[in-house]
């Protein structure tokens, strides 16, 4: 099941996104066991992303290999557990968090790769900077010691209105393109989950985060 899903997804992703760019598939591993994650890695997954610091730490040693991303909401007081262990922080959604990652990274002599999270659907339930602030935040954070901005992350709202979702994707891609034109470190537009990843890739995303499509439905009760 996991193996089959991974193989079929990786096969489909070989063609790249709408620009022919390489697409990075990050397996979203919340609630999954180390054993399930190791099966996904053995089947060809190269990158995995956790949502919770506790899970990130609990599974860290039992999981074998893979670039370890952090994709969930991150509390400032838990940053210390991730520094030096995280391949890419997707969810830098506020100034205090960026400052904390920067401070602790500089102190440990590492540079942390981050994405700036944009609240593209202007949803109260979601974190992230307003789209309009994206460039300004990028310009500040790229000059911050301890940080290297690699791009942007967004979660599309739940909606049946494809034209609306496409419009949001295009706005994210425009932000990404503007930043990329100024900075060679910009590489990733992380946008797309199990329900909307094809649409996102058709409109310029080059990094997707899939949980259900790889591992099946989540069961939060166990
Ligand atoms: C859970 C999660 C995903 C993956 O969700 P699926 O719908 O299961 O693919 C992607 N991104 C984030 C930030 C998540 O928390």
Q: What are the structural domains of the chain? A: 2-214 (3.20.20.10)
pLDDT per position as a tens digit, 91-143 = 999 999 999 999 999 999 999 999 999 999 999 999 999 999 999 999 999 99
- Point out the ligand 1 atom lying closest to the alpha carbon of residue 26: 10
Compute the average pLDDT of residues 18-42.
Answer: 98
Ligand 1: residue of 91, 211, 214 to mutate (most ligand atoms within 8 A of CB) is 211
Q: Give the pLDDT score at 222.
A: 57
Per-chain mean pLDDT for the chain: 97
The C-alpha angle 93, 74, 144, rounded to 5 degrees, equals 55
> Distances from the Cα of 212 to the Cαs of 25, 41, 117, 205, in angstroms?
13, 16, 22, 19
For residue 72, which atom of ligand 1 is closest to its CA?
A: 13
**Mode of pairing for the β-strands spanning 88-92 and 112-118:** parallel
100: helix, strand or coil = helix
Q: Residue 117 Cα, ligand 1 centroid: separation in angstroms? A: 14
SS3 state at 29: coil
Helix, strand, coil percentages, rounded to 5, for the chain: 40, 20, 40
Residue 88 has pLDDT above 80, yes or no: yes
Query: Which token pair is 46?
Result: 């190269």
pTM of model > 0.85: yes
pLDDT tens digits, one per residue of 179-210: 999 999 999 999 999 999 999 999 999 999 99
């Amino acid at each position: 099941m996991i193996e089959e899903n991974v193989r079929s997804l990786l096969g489909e992703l070989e063609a790249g996104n709408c620009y022919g760019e390489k697409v990075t598939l990050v397996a979203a591993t919340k609630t999954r066991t180390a054993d399930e994650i190791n099966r996904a890695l053995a089947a060809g997954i190269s990158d995995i992303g956790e949502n919770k610091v506790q899970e990130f730490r609990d599974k860290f040693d039992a999981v074998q290999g893979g670039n370890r991303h952090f994709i969930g909401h991150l509390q400032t007081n838990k940053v210390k557990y991730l520094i030096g262990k995280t391949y890419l922080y997707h969810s830098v959604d506020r100034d205090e968090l960026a400052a904390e990652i920067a401070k602790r990274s500089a102190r440990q002599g590492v540079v942390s790769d981050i994405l700036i999270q944009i609240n593209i659907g202007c949803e109260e339930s979601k974190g992230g900077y307003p789209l309009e602030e994206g460039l300004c935040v990028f310009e500040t954070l790229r000059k911050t010691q301890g940080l290297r901005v690699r791009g942007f992350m967004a979660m599309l709202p739940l909606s049946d209105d494809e034209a609306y979702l496409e419009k949001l994707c295009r706005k994210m891609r425009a932000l990404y393109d503007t930043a990329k034109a100024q900075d060679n470190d910009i590489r990733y537009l992380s946008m797309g989950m199990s329900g909307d990843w094809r649409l996102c890739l058709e409109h310029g995303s080059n990094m997707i985060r899939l949980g259900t499509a790889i591992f099946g439905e989540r069961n939060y009760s166990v």
